[in-house]
Amino acid sequence: MNKYLVFGHQNPDTDTIASAIVMSDYLTQLGHESEPVALGTPNDETQFMLNYFKLNAPRVVETVANETDRVALVDHNESQQSVADLKDVRVDYVVDHHKIGDFETAHPMYLRIEPVGCTATILYKMFNEKDLTISKEIAGAMVSAIISDTLLFKSPTCTQEDIDAAQALAKLADIDLEAYGLDFLRAGTNVASRSDSDILNADAKIFEMGPKTVRIGQVNVIGFDEILARKKDLVNLLEKERQDNNLVVSILVVTDILENDSIGFVVGDGAEGVQKAFDQSVVDNQFDLPGVVSRKTQIVPQLTEVFSQE
CB 34 within 8 A of CB 63: no
CB 263 within 8 A of CB 224: yes
Range in 27-36, 138-147, 186-195 with the lowest mean pLDDT: 186-195
Distance CA 100, CA 19 (A): 18
Question: Which pLDDT tens digit goes with each residue over 91-112?
Answer: 999 999 998 877 777 889 999 9
State the burial class of residue 140 (Cβ atoms within 10 Å of its Cβ: 0-12, 13-18, 19+): buried
Q: Can you give the pLDDT at residue 1?
A: 57
Residue 181 has pLDDT above 60, yes or no: yes
pLDDT confidence tier of residue 131, bands split at 50, 70 and 90: very high
Alpha-carbon torsion, ordered 297, 299, 304, 306, to 10 deg? 130
pLDDT confidence tier of residue 304, bands split at 50, 70 and 90: very high
Domains and CATH numbers, the chain: 4-189 (3.90.1640.10), 196-308 (3.10.310.20)
Cross-strand bridge partners of residue 113: 96
